[in-house]
Structures are given as C-alpha cells and as structure tokens.
C-alpha cells in the first residue's frame, strides 16, 4: 500500500538532513509502530507520508500511484489522496480550526462534496463512536486535551480514510482515555484500515501494532521487525537511545 524507496528529506535548503535514504513497505491492513529517539525524524516521515513535505530524493508510491508535489498541486488528485490517508497531529490545537465541534467533524465530508443528510449522519456516527456526543455544540478551543484529541480523531475518521497515520496519539491523555483510544484503533485495524503510528508509550499500545519500524539517531531505518520482538529487545532499544 505504501512504498518508500531511498527517500531523503531535509530543510533549510539541504542544510539539515532529517531523513536519510529510507526504505519502507507497509501493506494494506498492516499496523505499524514507528519508534525512535527524539529528533530522529519520525514526525517528518509522517508528514511526508501525508504529502505535506516533499522528499528530496527517492520515490513515494501510494497504492500504485506516485505521490509528487506536482501531482498534489492538482486539486482533484490532492482531495482524493487526502481522503484516503488521514493524519492525526501530535498537537491537537493545530488540528482544530472550526468554531464548533460538529462543524469541525463536518468539515472533511463537506469538502468532499457529500450531501447534507450524509454529512449529518457521519457527524452523528463519529460523535457516538468517540463517545463525545455531549460535546457536539461546544467550542473546540475550550475543551480539555483528551477531548480535543477525540474531536480531532473524529474529524479525521469522518473522511473514512483507508490509512490512518497518528503522530504520538497517546501524548497528554489520562490512562482511561488511552485505553479507550487503543480499543478504537484496534477495532479500526480489524475492520481493514491500515494504521501507522509513532509512539513512546509502549505500555498502552499493546496488541495494537504488529510490526515496528525503528528509526535511528542517524535518521536511517535501524531495524524493521515484529513489534513484540523489538519491544522486548532491551539491549537494542538502549543502544538506540529509546530506553
């Protein structure tokens, strides 16, 4: 489903390298954890997957189609691409920009051009799915961290993406919320959605991820393998400055 070949990424006109010669293969329905120390380029990689940052070298192929900045400039292609791959930001404040919660969730479906009854149905379903029906008429700015995260996730799910990319989804949440989020992600993955997430919170993502990709401090892929095996390899994780 997702194929990265020899991808490098940098900013400040090539001065600072953020990703180096990356190869990545994610199949449809996979659940992949992205692990690495701070500053290894996890967030940049996730942005790249969502078409927000261009790669300096290498190729990015999504479901057989090459994703390039030129193609993304064409509105229909961009819209279709962004509908198929949803991105949950690390900073929920940056992700919520509508005056009311139900408008926030409706934004995506409306951009897709769905009819109002369908939009309303999706909004109601997403509110129920995340358990935030009571927040329907609230102002996103005033919500707590966990509530904001749920609203953001609801607004991403409303697009019905095939791939779900999450940037540190558990940060700043209380244990109860982490638990319910984990259960929801497991359910989504079981329903066939590809899930890719970066995380530090190994305890609360148990049973969610089957594969792990480890990025090293040198901005390259250090290791790819079964999630459980890598998590239990303490010596390796210590060497990578993760533990």
Partner 1 sequence: MPELPGWLAGDQRYEPRRGRDAFLDRSILAFLALLARGGALGGAPAGRVRTDPAAKVVAAVVVLLLVSLSRSTVFLAIVGSGLLAFLAGQDGKLIAGVLKAAAAAALFTLAVLLPSALLGRGPAAAMITAKVFLSVAWVRLVAASTGWAAMTDAFKRLGAPDLFILVFDLALKYILLLGEFALTLLYALKLRSVGRSPGRTGSLGGIAGTMFLTSKEMAEELYDAMVCRGFTGDYRPLPRRPPGLREAALGGAVGLLVAAFFLTRRG
Positions in the binding site for partner 1 (CB under 8 A): 47, 50-52, 75, 78-79, 82-83, 86-87, 89, 91, 93-100, 103, 107-108, 110-112, 116, 137-139, 141-142, 155-156, 159
For partner 1, the closer of residues 2 and 214 by Cβ is: 2
Cα separations in angstroms, 62 against 21, 27, 84: 18, 10, 10
Nearest to 57 by CA among 105, 23, 89: 23
Alpha-carbon gap, residue 224 to 202, rounded angstroms: 16
For partner 1, the closer of residues 139 and 239 by Cβ is: 139
Residue 98 CB, nearest approach to partner 1 (Å) = 8
Residue 42 CB, nearest approach to partner 1 (Å) = 16
Alpha-carbon gap, residue 190 to 78, rounded angstroms: 27
For partner 1, the closer of residues 68 and 179 by Cβ is: 68
Residue 66 CB, nearest approach to partner 1 (Å) = 19
Q: Are 106 and 114 in contact (CB under 8 A)?
A: no
For partner 1, the closer of residues 35 and 147 by Cβ is: 147
Residue 160 CB, nearest approach to partner 1 (Å) = 12
Q: For residue 89, is it left (φ>0), alpha (ψ between -120 and 50) or beta?
A: beta
Residue 76 CB, nearest approach to partner 1 (Å) = 9
Q: Are 125 and 159 in contact (CB under 8 A)?
A: no
The beta strand positions in 27-123, using DSSP E, are: 31-35, 57-62, 65-66, 85-88
For partner 1, the closer of residues 39 and 99 by Cβ is: 99
């Amino acid at each position: 489903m997702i194929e990265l070949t020899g991808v490098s990424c940098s900013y400040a006109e090539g001065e600072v390298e953020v990703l180096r010669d990356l190869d990545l293969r994610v199949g449809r329905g996979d659940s992949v954890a992205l692990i690495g120390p701070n500053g290894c380029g996890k967030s940049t990689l996730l942005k790249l997957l969502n078409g927000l940052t261009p790669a300096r070298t290498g190729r990015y192929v999504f479901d057989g189609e090459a994703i390039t900045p030129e193609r993304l400039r064409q509105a229909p292609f961009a819209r279709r691409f962004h509908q198929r791959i949803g991105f949950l930001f690390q900073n929920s404040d940056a992700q919520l920009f509508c005056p009311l919660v139900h408008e926030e969730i409706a934004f995506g479906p409306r951009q897709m051009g769905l009819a109002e009854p369908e939009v309303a149905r999706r909004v109601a379903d997403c509110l129920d799915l995340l358990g935030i029906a009571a927040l329907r008429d609230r102002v996103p700015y005033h919500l707590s961290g966990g509530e904001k995260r749920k609203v953001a996730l609801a607004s991403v799910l409303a697009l019905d993406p095939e791939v779900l990319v999450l940037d540190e989804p558990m940060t700043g949440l209380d244990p109860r919320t982490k638990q319910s989020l984990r259960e929801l992600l497991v359910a989504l993955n079981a329903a066939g959605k590809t899930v890719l997430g970066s995380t530090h919170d190994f305890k609360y993502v148990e049973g969610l991820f089957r594969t792990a990709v480890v990025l090293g401090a040198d901005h390259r892929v250090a290791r790819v393998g079964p999630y459980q095996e890598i998590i239990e390899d303490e010596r390796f994780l210590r060497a990578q400055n993760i533990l």
